[in-house]
Structure 1
Amino acid sequence: MMEHVCDSKDAELCKQILAVVSVIYRPISLEELTSTIESLARFDSDPAALETVIGSCGSFLTLREGTIYFIHQSAKDFLLNDAHSQILPSGIAHQHHAIFSRSLEVLSRTLRRDVYELSAPGFLIDNVSPPDPDPLAPVRYFCIHWVDHLRDLNHAEGVAQKQLQDDGPVHTFLLRNYLYWLEALSLLRSIPQAVLAMQKLEPLVGGSGNGQLADLLQDARRFVLSCKGALEIAPLQVYASALTFCPTRSLVGRLFRDEAPNWIISAPDIEADWITCLQTLEGHGDTVKSVTFSSDGQLLASASNDRTIKVWNATTGACMQTLEGHSDWVMSIAFSGDGRWLASASRDETVKVWDVATSACVQALEGHSDWVSSIAFSADGKRLASGSRDRTINIWDAATGACIQTLKGHVRSVTLLAFFANDQQLASGSMDKTVKVWNVAIGACIKTLEGHGDWTTSMAFSMDGQWLVSGSENDATAKIWNATTGTCIQALQGHNSHVASVTFSADGQRVASGSGDGTIKIWDTAKGACMQTLKGHREWALSVTFSPDGRRLASGFGDKTVKFWDVATDACAQTLEFHNGGITSVAFSEDGQWLASGAESDGTVKVWDTATSACVQTLQGHQSSVKSVCFSADGQRLISGSGDRTAKVWDVATGTCVQTLEGHTDWVTAVAFLRDGARLISMSDDGRPESRTWVVKVWNAETGACVRTLEGNSGSVARPSFVTRPNTRLSADRDVQVLDLFDTETQPQKISGISTVPHDHGYRISPDGVWIVKHDQRMLWLPSEYRPLTSAIYKSTIALGCSSGRVLIIQFSTEAFER
């Protein structure tokens, strides 16, 4: 076969083509081949001639729809084994090096900002059509595989090390082109490949002692993990969202600061360094109830109230599969030890077993008469245990699906299960406040552990089976037990709400606990001391699990997300001012100089300088969450309404509470100054419940006396709004109603709508809270941790109050954006 090639007039070209095609990782197009072999450049204008050259390799290659394939795997094997000396005379490493070098050369020449000329920063990837000609068509292969060719160089020759030196080819390429490369991968719908590429490069550099490049690669990996969600939606957000929300000391952020959008005049204050959360996975439509790693740590599965299970690549965060089939919430999931099977328990009273490779449901196990709330595989994968609200535990033969045993003894719902390491015993937790240990062989309960003040919500064994950790509903503790004796040896205290999930690290030295207070805590098993507290979810931490190597933690929460955390290193200290709880209300002063924020948990009001984002006052005095805040027209006073049924008036300059207004019998959900400053308004839900009314009180601002009480029917006043212009009108959401605050005979009148916001230059938050838009054009994608619970707009400045307790202030340009 080689004789035919060698006898052709294009013998040398054919050998070059065969050499390239023999070592690449997928079939390539004619355009990609032309970019790979410099001598083929002359065929750019004559593709038919290039096809003729490919035809000369007909014993090995075939051309289908512009893509080059081997006619059979045996053809590739022959070239690499029998014809190696003819097509790869310098060795396969030399060919990898040639393709790698050519990749960086062509990519550096091709990549640029907005290569498809989309212009709009929020242009969605689903709406992108490649231009003709497509500037990325010749470099698609290079974009995805340049790192693979570097990795497969022969390290003994020292070639790879030369490429990985500081100021060497790789370092220079990333310094100049990293964001442009990410944009290209986004356009190619291949952002997970960027994560893999950085992960492959880091160990290569680690061995060569290249400090600057090693630091850049570590930062580049964190950068793409943090903005992956944005780039999978809108390619140009690599210059907007990614740069806006990266840490101030990010190397990538500093290198490409000139690429940041010029329509953001003042960016929000962001942490100086990368936080513990590696990435946030979005895709579920409801609460994530359970997360679990496969035994090799390559996959993560998540179960949700949206009735689906998702299987994710644990390295890149890419969703690989969505398993559908349950007709109600999926409560619990578990991988078999070999990773082949995934079991799921559901409120539809069934257990399903899935083939992980094919996504097929291979078993549907029925036998429970109520919700199935927990599932567990034995270590050998031969048995499957399911716990139910019907108070029983079923043991199933995993191969046949037959129920081989039913364990009875709990007097309330069985909420969780875990096999001992020896597979001979099973532990079960229940709403009856006990943990039972069962001998699986005989089906008998051999031990009952008691000590929690409420029902057991979560439970896990250490890998060696020596210890058992359990979490409880209302006593906010996790307990560590000696699994042999049943003795409680540690009580882990520190959460402010129930402990929903617990897990051991593989070495048994750490316990992770997720709580209804929205935090995850990492504990030292031996000492019972809290080592780390992880924050970042909006709602309850319903499930936590360590990766097998103990370096990462995955969590599932009520905010529909899954998060990966880096727990191998200490979390960085927070240097920014926070509320200790979700933000419930934000309001600008009339001149936009100040912003006030109220929080859910800590009962404080903070006043921020909008120019510097610095907290200038923390106002303390409320005994419950702050529901609403509002400045007086002159900005000298601030009123706050609280769940403690009071409203307070504060001197903004001194931070002193000058009045406490009492008289409401329920939460004060909205407050305002009237424009003349002589009167205050407060609203509460303390009207007649049967008529669904609210109550408004009007106060004398000087004396604090209540001068008027009004009732109105709003249907719902979850977020009422006031209009405080000199006409003294008041409105509530839903059917907008107006009350004259002076005329006692005036009845509510419906009006078409009221605006309480100064001219906002078109900037606002999208209805789903994911985007900041201008005149309905998407501008800035908000990462999940910065999506607001509440927001305020003053002209072109937007304030975001987040569930984490953060307040972000972003000022936008009033001019048309240029980039």
Structure 2
Amino acid sequence: MLRQLRSRLRKSLHRHGNARNHEGCKDNEQGGYDVPAVTASPASSERKDATQITTASIEISHPAALSESASPEEFYAAISTSTRPLPTPPANNFTDIRNPAGANDAPTSLPAQLWDRAYYDLKQEETELVVAYEKILSRQLQGGPGLAVPESQLNIIAQNNPDARRRQMIQLIYAGLDRIERETKLKENLGVAVDVVQSAKNIITSAIHAIPQAALPWTGICVALEMLANPISATEANSKGIDYVVQRMEWYWSLSSSLLRDLPDHAGTLAEVRGQLEEKILDLYKALLVYQIKSVCSYYHNRGLVFLRDIIRLDDWDADLEAIRDIEQCFRHDAQAYTAQQATSHLEQLVHHAQKQETQQMSEKYQQCLKQLRVTDPRDDKRRIELTKGGLLADSCRWVLDNADFRQWHDDRQSRLLWIKGDPGKGKTMLLCGIIDELKSTSDSSLLSFFFCQATDASLNNATAVVRGLIYLLIDQRPSLISHVQKKYDATGNPLFRDSNAWVALSEIFIDILKDPSLPPTHLIIDALDECMEDLGLLLGLVVQTSSVCSAIKWIVSSRNWPIIEKHLNNATHKARLSLELNEESVSAAISTYIRFKVEWLAKRHEYNNHIQAAIQRYLSENAQGTFLWVALVCHELANISGWEVEESLRTFPPGLDELYRRMINQIYNSRHAKLLQQILAIVSVVYRPVTLDELPSLVDTPYRASGDDRALAEIVGLCGSFLTLRERTVSFIHQSAKDFLLKQARDEIFPSGMEDVHHTIFSRSLRIMQKTLRRDIYNLGAPGFSIDNVMPPNPDPLALVRYPCVYWVNHLRACNPKKNTNKDLQNGGTIDTFLREKFLNWFEALSLLRCMSEGIASLLELERLLEVSFRSCDI
């Protein structure tokens, strides 16, 4: 049994050796400190402070090099023949738990801290016993073994310096092991007792060799082993007890390191349980220390120490051992509970970590998907429209909230579609802006998504863009809805939103979202259906379908009085309509409010007197004809007219939008910049999206000194009357009706050579500016494969001039008259052939930097089709 115990303990101590660096030990040049032999030397009888006691008081010899498998006999034989002195064993830096003042700053292992704390507590609880024990140890430090311990013995064990105390304990252990070795060799015929001593000695040797911090708990055992080597002094019960204590001390040293390891910050109640378990280990350590201290004192008591007789009772070893076992049993029960809770906590940590990682991954995927879904943020479009039209006047929109048709739609659960219709300039867009604000303020629990169609912007004038915008706002308010998009996006990526099947995929996603059981009541609003230039029928069909089958959805759409729109919306089963023409009285009252607001603004600007102010208000009221836009355009013109001539100028503004637009065209053609302004109006009328001040000079023959001068270009745009507006450096029409007038009633003036020639001009200028501007590594990134997400455009941006040409030059080529304008361009050696040979890679690099690769691929496919058409026509 003892041999099995010895084998098991040696394996355990091998773990101590593996943990040497963790415990703070430093090896010497030979790879570690060997256990030294100790020869006692006479010590001074003078009183010394504990901090002055060092291993210098003992002569120590350094053993010869031995293999790790050397037997104890070989080990001590090597010691006895060695004469080279061994340096002082390394003192581990240590922070005393109870009294850190005298300690070093480096941390001590947890078991060593607990043993030191247990020893300190025990000294407070069993003061006389521990003091007697320390006097015995002090005598050994001064005089060596076998000497009597007088009652006047001074206690020289370091009290407040754990580092110094540890050196003393190591010194005592080395000396004790040497004595035990000599005694056991002389008494090998003692059988079991010697076997136990040898096993315990090996454990102590390995422990101190690996972890010098273990010196404190093992010192008493080392001294106690002397009585096991001397059967005259040891009882059988005490011998068994010491054997048991040796086994348990090594076990609990290792156990405390793993069981009480540091907890994460969010461990919560587990930290409290750990603290309670630590107290149980301390109780156990104290019980083990008490047993070994009593064993030491018993040994010396039997040698006749008078001052121990009245301090302790040393005759009930079985009871003492049973007390240790009781404490162990209690500890095991608590340790099992703690381990179970620790495992649960660890599992919770793993789950938390996995959820955190999943959330982070989902967040990244969510952001990427939402980023690609976004074609525009309709909230930004709303703010832009309001700014362009001079701000939202809430009083001019409030009438609709009490309108019977609106109330029916709002209050009746069965009424799911409201169509607001009216002629151009009647204020439909601003009316919907007011409704959106009202729904936001009164419907906290519902979702609201909207979209403003704009015919002049290719990214805002098609059915796919409308659905993308509606989905974007819904997901932005309810992120969980992203799952409906993510399934398809993970499979296809960015083409989901841009390829030829984008409408099919997105309309299915949109319907799935509206059918989601978690979706709260939702309001969906689309303004200016008449400005949806592509797939309007598909969009109207989707509105009708969802308004009929999705009970939680309520739609509002607005448009002009177009029969095709009315035909589609008539198929809806739960609908209402609000005609601005049939609500002329309410609209007129709203326009009157708007007129008062605008006239007050003009009066403050020009300091009108009451007479002029009244004259302007009267003229606007008499000629507005229920049209907000007419009032806005006239007031815009009056803002540039001095007060003394404003009354006379009023008569030059004819009633009705078309008449007003005609007046503006005549003014443009009578100006000395007529040709330049005509070019600008023509270009802005046919581009596929509004162009910026940076892009305008690449498409129009602007004056040399005006190119690159934002102020000069803004003045030129301002000369185009009230047809155009400039907002955030982007040129666009003031209203769709202005563009309609130019394309229909002023077509001959704006396009004297035909619209195809304007497209060809844009195409030709686009190729020239790209040929001149594009080059390799235009952003000077210097690294092929540089992630587009990490690209920051330089300032100034060399692509600012060619952003529009890079994306849309093929679109304008397609819009040219192929027989008249493009055959020469499409021939071998023509302008397109030259551009592609010289700048193809530079063009695609620019498209990548502009994040328009999908548009570039579509352009290549369209160019291939145009070439095939051109070749066929040439063959014919």
Is the pair's TM-score, using the shorter chain for normalization, greater than 0.5?
A: no
TM-score range with shorter-chain normalisation?
under 0.3
Q: Which has the higher helix share?
A: 2
**TM-score between the two structures when normalised by the length of structure 2:** 0.24
Q: Which has the higher strand share?
A: 1
Tell which has more relative contact order, 1 or 2 (C-alpha 8 A, sep 6+): 2
Who wins on radius of gyration, i.e. which is larger? 2
